[in-house]
Amino acid sequence: MTHFKARIWMLLVMQLWVPAQAASPLQRLTRVDVSRALAATPGRYSTLGIPPGASYVLRCSSGCVALLWCRLWCHDSPADACIFSDIVVMPEYDETNTADVIPCYTMRQKSYMNQAVIESSQEWISNHPGRLKENLMDKSYVTGDLDTCLLLEGVTFPWFLLDFGEPVTFQHVRIIAQTGSNVYTFCDVEVRVGISPVSTPGDFSSYRLLGKFAGPATENQDVDFKAAKPVTARFVSVQKMKQDWFQPCHVEVY
């Protein structure tokens, strides 16, 4: 099928599967090649058969929309089935396991994170050496994998700062909260945007407030800070406005 020959395939999919979904906005999907192993990584995962003669596009896309946890769907051609997964795969993801690749479609939008430089308050590396700020620069995220989340020490107002190198225009800053019993600590988060560097690290009071999240979050929640209209900024600060450790797991700016 010619659709498979395009590297990126943008779709507008009518949400027809469930009546309650019928009035929802159209979903924009982006084609991205993902290995079968990654799509089936432990987490929320299910499959759905495709009846003979049925359109796999409508069957799989509407099926994913009907599952509130679905973030990615794939077409398993040999099994003639849809694969639904809660992993996050960005449109700019590059699959290295090419021998196991299958065509998938992500609901995420292209993010500015690829061009960002990140700074942060003190990471808790004494107990968790692998949980660094650079983990937020990912192109894919397995929901609930705490070992790949950033963990900041419980200093006064822990923070991280994104520098895109030049002003960019966006409307959303999306953060995926952690999983597990401590998810209630994902709260009191403030996002600000600015054009110039701050003189004192951690003091972002001169930046424009984009949004606040009182929380607490639920497990794996997509916490979306959305401006009323697109903003142009070079810097995005994310700060927990209390003395407590802070562990965001995935960030998108678009």
Side-chain-side CA neighbours of residue 159 (13 Å)? 21
Please tell me whether residues 20 and 38 are part of one structural domain: yes
Please tell me whether residues 96 and 116 are part of one structural domain: no
Q: Are 167 and 173 in contact (CB under 8 A)?
A: no
Q: Can you give the pLDDT at residue 128?
A: 86
Pick from 64, 91, 106: which residue ends a domain?
106
Please tell me whether residues 206 and 175 are part of one structural domain: yes
Q: What is the pTM of this model?
A: 0.84
Pick from 106, 129, 148: which residue ends a domain?
106
Buried b / exposed e over 50-68, threshold 16 CB at 10 Å, is beeeeebbebbbbbbbbbe
Q: Which two tokens stand for residue 194?
A: 């600015």
What does the pLDDT average to over 203-231? 96
Task: Say if residue 244's pLDDT is above 80.
Answer: yes
Q: Can you give the pLDDT at residue 27?
A: 61
Please tell me whether residues 76 and 199 are part of one structural domain: no
Burial class, 1, CB count within 10 angstroms (exposed 0-12 / middle 13-18 / buried 19+): exposed
Q: Residue 240 belongs to a domain with what CATH number?
A: 2.60.120.260
Per the document, the length of the chain is 254
Pick from 74, 106, 138: which residue ends a domain?
106
- What does the DSSP assignment read for 87-135? -EE-TT---S-GGGEEEEEE-PPP-GGGG-EEEES-B-TTT-TT--GGG
Determine which of 21-35, 63-77, 205-219 has the lowest per-residue pLDDT on average.
21-35
Summarize pLDDT for 176-200 with one digit per residue, the tens: 999 888 899 999 999 999 999 999 9
11 bridge partner residues: 29
The proportion of the chain whose per-residue pLDDT surpasses 90, expressed as a percent, equals 74
Please tell me whether residues 173 and 58 are part of one structural domain: no
Q: Are 111 and 252 in contact (CB under 8 A)?
A: yes
How far lies 85's CA from each of 1, 19, 103, 215, in Å? 24, 22, 13, 26
Please tell me whether residues 95 and 158 are part of one structural domain: no
Q: Which two tokens stand for residue 196?
A: 């110039």
Please tell me whether residues 123 and 199 are part of one structural domain: yes
Q: Can you give the pLDDT at residue 9?
A: 40
Please tell me whether residues 129 and 189 are part of one structural domain: yes
Please tell me whether residues 85 and 194 are part of one structural domain: no
Summarize pLDDT for 11-69 with one digit per residue, the tens: 434 333 332 333 344 467 899 999 999 998 877 889 999 999 899 999 999 999 999 89
Amino acid occupying residue 192: R
Please tell me whether residues 73 and 129 are part of one structural domain: no
Summarize pLDDT for 117-147 with one digit per residue, the tens: 999 999 998 888 899 999 999 999 998 888 8
Please tell me whether residues 169 and 200 are part of one structural domain: yes
Please tell me whether residues 98 and 118 are part of one structural domain: no
- Tell me how many domains the chain contains: 2
Q: Can you give the pLDDT at residue 127?
A: 82
Mean pLDDT computed over every residue of the chain:
88
Structural domain for 57, as ranges? 2-106
